[in-house]
Chains A and B, each alone.
Chain A
Amino acid sequence: MIFTIACKELKTLFASSLAWTLLALVQLVLGWVFMGRLDAFLEIQSQLVQIANPPGVTEIIVAPVFAMAAAVLLMATPLLTMRLIAEERRNHTMTLLTSAPISMTDIVLGKFFGLMIFFCSVILLVMVLSLSLLMGGSLDAGLLLSNAAGLLLICACFAALGLYISSLTDQPAVAAAGTLGALLGLWVMDIAVDDGGSIMRTLSLLKHYESFNRGLIDTFDLAYFSLFILTFLVLAIRRLDGERLRG
């Protein structure tokens, strides 16, 4: 049942021009960043040779592209998650799902995985972009995979939070604005703090993504992401279940 709903989400997403536009724009921006980093790498390449343990091409080009990808997807997520529940309510199509013999958990997970498959296609494109460097040299596969895993996890966090905020309202624009605000808030919340061990820093999404970006897979980060995703998915399910009672 989850699979049926995920398929339906993907079908309606790709039937609209939104998915294609987003894919094209994300790829354009990342391609640009990629070229910029490549340019920089070529310029400093001669100096790098003189250093004892120089950073590789993966660290100089691929990692920044992935860091940028997370920022770009943060901007794109609200446009995708607002469709999931708020727009379905507005178009009165939510009734089809709530009248069907499926649980709210099926609906929420179906929508979540549908969006994740879309994010996977974006991540795959970024991977292909990075792998194109193999034409001129070798890549650090571990760093590349850790970046991809980090991007996948942070996208899942975006999706879960967006899904929850989408379930709070029946106005897509409000859902989008709310999601963008919440995500940006979580992104920058550590900026004002200098103290390294502060709770603000612990809660910031960016900090946890950074270690993946450096090729460091820490169980604390994994736990943070899993808890984040789980919390908001459960909240969304509870919210939809509660709606049947409140009306």
Chain B
Amino acid sequence: MNEQTAPTTILAQGLCRDFGNRTAVYDVNLELRSGEVLGFLGPNGAGKTTTMRMLTGNLAPSAGSVAICGIDMMDRPRDAKARIGYLPEMPPLYRELRVDEYLLLAAKLHRVGRTSLCPLLVKAKQRCGLNDVGRQLIGSLSKGYQQRVGIAQAIIHNPDVIILDEPTAGLDPNQMREIRALIRELGAEHSVILSTHILPEVEAVCDRVQIMHRGRMVFNDSIAGLKQKQTSLEEVFAQLTLGEESAGEIQAQ
């Protein structure tokens, strides 16, 4: 799909968020088109999670606006939220429910019609490799499987926008590879925002990169553009988020 003509799914303009006197996020702009995977980077405490919470309607911005598929999050939060699938940093899992029960609950909460519940459940489980564990309690699953249930929860209602906050944290290398393949697959039909600390992961699955530092958006370019300039993501990241000197050291290495 041509990226210029694909419909815009997320449009965030001038997002600001203060917590008391401290400014967590300042003037962040973000635009994402359908079929695009955006890598969302930044050091810990840069304001990534705060930004994602604002994008998903969990936190009201102090200033600025968020529109999902043209629907303003402030004016019509229900319609906007129905188009988002969100996996927070801590997957919101009810350990005492079975995987099937939990995924059906997530679908129902996202206003999926009764008739389409079953096919969607089957599809989500198949995509996330959960076919064999449907009857198991979530609490009894391994970390990798729990993470997959978290992703399945975010995609079951077929949202236009999928927001994943560190989906591969704490997984083993094989599981990481599987999740990355899944994200690439999801990126073909949906828009995906992927927050992570693993730079090769971004280079492998994302079309575009945005880097946040101290609450501001300091970098926005496509992966292809980076390759053209022959700079690695790691250099850019270090340059922007460390002091000049230490960045030089890394470059020298």
Q: What is A's interface to B at a CB cutoff of 8 Å?
A: 1, 4-5, 8, 11-12, 15-16, 91-103, 244-245, 247
Are the C-beta atoms of A12 and B96 separated by less than 8 Å?
Answer: yes
Interface residues of B in 94-111 (CB under 8 A from A): 94-97, 101, 105-106, 108-111
A101 contacts B82, C-beta separation under 8 Å: yes
Complex interface: chain B residues within 8 A of A245 (CB):
60
Contact across chains for A100 and B109 when beta carbons are under 8 A apart? yes
A sample of 21 inter-chain contacts (CB < 8 A) reads A1-B109, A4-B108, A4-B109, A5-B109, A8-B94, A12-B94, A12-B96, A15-B97, A91-B95, A95-B86, A95-B88, A99-B56, A99-B58, A100-B110, A101-B111, A102-B109, A103-B78, A244-B60, A247-B17, A247-B19, A247-B59
- A225 to chain B: closest CB distance in Å? 31
Chain A CB within 10 Å — which of B53, B77, B82, B105 has the most?
A: B105
Cross-interface CB contact of A101 among B88, B92, B101, B110, cutoff 8 Å: B110
Q: A8-B94, A95-B86, A244-B60 are in contact. List 8 more A-B contacts (CB 8 A).
A: A4-B108, A4-B109, A5-B109, A91-B92, A95-B90, A98-B57, A100-B110, A101-B81
For this complex, into which size category does the number of interface residues on chain B fall?
20 to 34
Name A96's contact: one of B59, B80, B84, B92 (CB within 8 Å): B92
Which residues from B are CB-within-8-Å of A99? 56-58, 81, 84, 86, 88
Bound CA–CA A11/B79 (angstroms): 28
Q: Map CB proximity to A onto B46-80 as digits: 1 under 8 Å, 0 otherwise.
A: 00001001001111100000000000000001111
- Enumerate B154-210 residues with CB–CB distance to A below 8 Å: none
Q: Give Cα A8 to B93, complex, Å.
A: 13
| One of A4, A93, A98, A102 near B94 (C-beta < 8 A) | A93
Flag whether B147 is at the interface (Cβ < 8 A). no
B60 proximity list for chain A (CB < 8 A)? 244-245
